[in-house]
Amino acid sequence: MGNVKVDLRGAQKKLSAQNLTRGKVAMANQALMDMEPFVPKRDHNLAASGHVTDSGKSIEYNTPYPRAQFYGKSFKKGTSFTFKSYTTPGTGSRWDLKAKELYGKSWPQVFKKGAGL
């Protein structure tokens, strides 16, 4: 019987942790750009503070109030309120879901391109 040798070096290189991280970062950056039109914009500080973490696993907003804006409710003890209107039409809570509905089908392709697959 003959021996069969399989060379997986090319596949291992393409599926390296570094390439997968590049894909995640590319996809998260695309998602961040796609979400921007739906982020509340009273003074643009919230949208401008958005960034992708180094690993590409999450998108963060560095302002004092992003959680309340994102979920549309206050989470402080003793004070409770719900955001009912936003100053810019088309913006509001859960901007990720709005962007995902419109652009989410293209995000896997961005991941593949970023990962070099």
| Cβ partners under 8 Å of residue 38, min gap 6 | 90, 91, 92, 95, 98, 99
CA–CA separation, 85 vs 56, rounded Å?
Answer: 32
Tens digits of per-residue pLDDT, 102-113? 999 999 999 999
Tens digits of per-residue pLDDT, 69-115? 888 877 666 676 676 677 778 888 889 999 999 999 999 999 999 99
Please give the model's pTM, rounded to 2 decimal places: 0.80
3-class state of residue 50 by DSSP: strand
Tokens of 42: 């009273």
- Within 13 A of 9's CA, how many CA atoms are on the CB side? 2
User: CB of 68 within 8 A of CB of 47?
Assistant: no
**pLDDT for position 44:** 74
* Domain locations along the chain: 15-115
